[in-house]
Amino acid sequence: MRTPSVQRNKAAAARELDISVLIDAPPERVFKAFFDPDALVAWWQVARSVTTARMLGPYVVEWTPTEYRDEMLGRLGGVFRGTVMQVLPGRGFFVADAFWLPPDTDPIGPMALDVSCSAGGGDLRGGTQLRVTQTGCDDSHRWRRYYEVIGHGWERALASLKALLEK
């Protein structure tokens, strides 16, 4: 079930991820949640992480493999890893050369992850418009299935991030 406050660009759904959410928290706090290990555990349910908010820093998060097994992707979980190429503290970051390494099947990538935090989102005074885009694709069924699955995962994760930062 989709959380009403998280919106995904449906036109992009098959070949990329483009998702936004308004969060009633300052952009600096939203940005920090993508690099703080405790915050990543709380909102993204990562098992561990190594994320460095600087150019050429690692961006690596790992999830415990699921018992659920997707017919095309295998078990979910595993590792997402890339290299931070641009950092604008409190405003966003860009990760390139990113790959998802599922627990049992071949890696998916390369791809890019772009996270932007815009101050004053909507009518939230002091709030943040968070936008997450993930790109990189070939024209295969496996890539399309990947974006379908991660789209739902990002919706849940960003709803959890919103709840965490607004409490």
Q: Where are the domains of the chain?
A: 6-166
Phi, then psi, of 159 in degrees rounded to 5: -65, -40
- pLDDT at 137 (0 to 100): 81
Measured distance CA(54)–CA(48) in Å, rounded: 19
Position 5 pLDDT exceeds 90: no
Q: For residue 158, give Cα distances in angstroms to 57, 86, 115.
A: 23, 22, 12
CATH fold group of domain 6-166: Alpha-D-Glucose-1,6-Bisphosphate; Chain A, domain 4 (3.30.530)
Query: At residue 3, does pLDDT exceed 90?
Result: no
Q: Output the pTM of the full model.
A: 0.89
- Per the structure block, which two tokens stand in for 1? 């079930």
- For residue 147, CA distances in Å to 8, 20, 100 come to 12, 16, 12
pLDDT tens, residue by residue, 43-78: 999 999 999 999 999 999 999 999 999 999 999 999
What pLDDT, on a 0 to 100 scale, did the predictor assign at position 123?
53
Q: Are 151 and 8 in contact (CB under 8 A)?
A: yes
Query: Which secondary structure element, helix H or strand E, spans residue 163, and what is its range?
Result: helix 141-166
- Interval 89-133: pLDDT, tens: 999 999 999 999 999 999 999 999 999 999 875 555 669 999 999
The tens digit of pLDDT for each residue in 14-32 reads 678 999 999 999 999 999 9
Per-residue pLDDT at 4 exceeds 50: no
